[in-house]
Structure formats: structure tokens, C-alpha cells
Structure 1
């Protein structure tokens, strides 16, 4: 009996500003790929414009089994998988689903920062929305912003919440 290979989510490190191109090419190759985008207002000298830009700079997520790794790496602009403890980092499906669900909410706003150099603050619990029952760390005087850590990427999302959505732990 042939063993069915299990598909998992992985992060692929890309050339700068190639995220959308690589996502499109991977989909054309038959690989399930996701480049999370958020709408951002940009100011030019003569006008303002809403554009969609990648949420994670230089990252695209792929849902593949082990046999599809080389197909991903042979894509122009894909540099390598993100590694954790010497192996390609597996991204938890619930982390992917939480980001997808949050980005689908009206006026969703996420900022990405590194987890380097931050000391922990008050622990809180979210009481509303797709991050309901998630715990986070309050920052910058904060009743508005909460850390939600994606450990497998070594990154932290700052998600803005109204203070009434949060309680102290």
C-alpha cells in the first residue's frame, strides 16, 4: 500500500518585492500558494492610492508535501525555505487560518515587526473577533496593540484592538 504524503504549510523566502510574482507562478505550476495581502494607502505627490501589498515582506506560504519542495525552489525568485532547527519550518495550519480570517475582517490592520529586543509586558486575552481567546502581550502603554507570535517564523504580529476587546490575564 502506497503511503500518502502529508501536505503542510511552509514559508518560502523570496527575492525582495517578488512575493506576488512568485505566488502567481507557483499557482500556475499547480502548487497551493498564498501571499497574504493587505490594503495600504500610499501618498504620491499628486494623489493618494490604495494598494495591496504583501503582509510579510519576502515571504510566500506554500501548502505542499515533501515531493513538491524542489518544484518550489526551482521557481525564479524563490530563494529557500525558512528553516527552523535545521529543517524547513512547518507553519501551523491554525496560524495560517487565523491570519486569513483576520485579513478578511473589515478594516483589518496588521503590522509585522521582529521579535528581537522586546521585553514582555502585561499578558492579556482577546475577547472578540477571530483572535478570540488568544493570549498576547501588551506593548507601548498599550491597551490597543497585542503581540501574536508566529514562533515558526520568528516574527511577531502587532494587531490593533479596541481596548474593550481585551482583559488582563
Structure 2
């Protein structure tokens, strides 16, 4: 069985994952906790790590079962074929989310277009292309092997 990426309606990731689990489909929607500020209070909320994406694990022949759930739009395609995510990549995401304070990524004087190999953290040994460098040490990297964009902030030590 392979992991596929399902594209959902905006803000439907949790609902779709819940529906798929009820139908007996193995799925994973990685969530991160963020502090959100309202005018009168702050609150910790769980938000999806990947907006509008849910990972599903099923056989090729059963791929159409996900469309029985409301909120599912389509599968994500990569190079003309349904995007397949390796088990190691799902495990890496789970490992990273289970201990977010444990990993640190160091980046120095990168420019847009540079190719880098990440030396530490959950994406260790993955090659990435620098897409954007912002103020305050914010970086946007393209992880070509996974077909996704990683946004990170350099942690000051």
C-alpha cells in the first residue's frame, strides 16, 4: 500500500481525516499547535502542517474510495502521476512533530536558487532549493524529493 496526498477544500483537513477514519481508510493529517491572538485573549489551536492536504494509505485499486467523503477535491499529482509519499517521509514528519524543540537547522548566507543538503533535523540528508530569503532569517525551501515547500525560521542560539 502507498501513501497518497489528497487535496481538500480549504479548512477541511480535520473533517476529511475524521470521515476517512470512520470509513476505515488509513489517513494522516499532521497538526501543529500554534498560539492565536484575538482581541481579548490568546488561545492554543491545532492547525494543519500542510494546508488542504491529507495523506491516505491505500491500494491503487481503492483510490476512488476517498471521494465518498465530503471535502475531498482531488489527488495531488506529481509529474503526471498521483503523488506517492514514502513511508520514511511520513515517519520523518511524525518524528519531527513529536519533538519540535529537539531539532535545529542551521543556515548561513544562502541566496535564492542555491541547492542545499539539510544537515540536521527531520529532513536530514534531503536536498532542497532555496526559493525565498526573508528578513529575520526566514527561509522558504523546496524539497524536490517530496514535492513540497518548507518554510523555516532560523533559531537563534
Q: Give the match's secondary structure for 2:100.
A: coil
- For the aligned residue pairs, the C-alpha RMSD in angstroms reads 2.9
In the alignment, structure 1 residue 104 sits paired with structure 2 residue 98: yes
Q: Secondary structure at the match of 2:39?
A: coil
- Cα distance between partner residues in 1 of 2:62 and 2:88: 22
Aligned to 2:124: 132
What is aligned with 1:37?
A: 31
Instruction: Work out whether 1:123 is the aligned partner of 2:111.
Output: no
User: Are residue 80 (structure 1) and residue 98 (structure 2) matched?
Assistant: no
Q: Is the 8 A contact 1:38 1:54 kept in 2?
A: yes
Give the TM-score, by structure 1 length. 0.73
Paired residue secondary structure (1:140)? strand
Gap change, CA 1:96 and 1:160, over 3 Å in 2: farther
Residue 84 of structure 2 corresponds to which residue in structure 1?
Answer: 90
Distance 1:144 1:42, change over 3 A: closer
Could you list the runs of 5+ residues in structure 2 that have no partner in the other structure?
104-110
1: CA distance between counterparts of 2:38 and 2:21? 32
Q: Structure 1 CA distance, aligned partners of 2:81 and 2:88?
A: 20
Mapped contact 2:117–2:125 kept (Cα < 8 A)? no
* CA distance in 1: counterparts of 2:63 and 2:69, whole angstroms: 10
Shift of 1:13: 0.7
CA separation of 1:90 and 1:125: change in aligned 2, threshold 3 A: closer
1 CA distance for matches of 2:114 and 2:12? 35
TM-score normalised by L of structure 2: 0.78
CA distance in 1, matches of 2:8, 2:138: 32
Paired position in structure 2 for 1:112: none
Question: Are the equivalent residues in 2 in contact too, given 1:146–1:161 (CA < 8 A)?
Answer: no
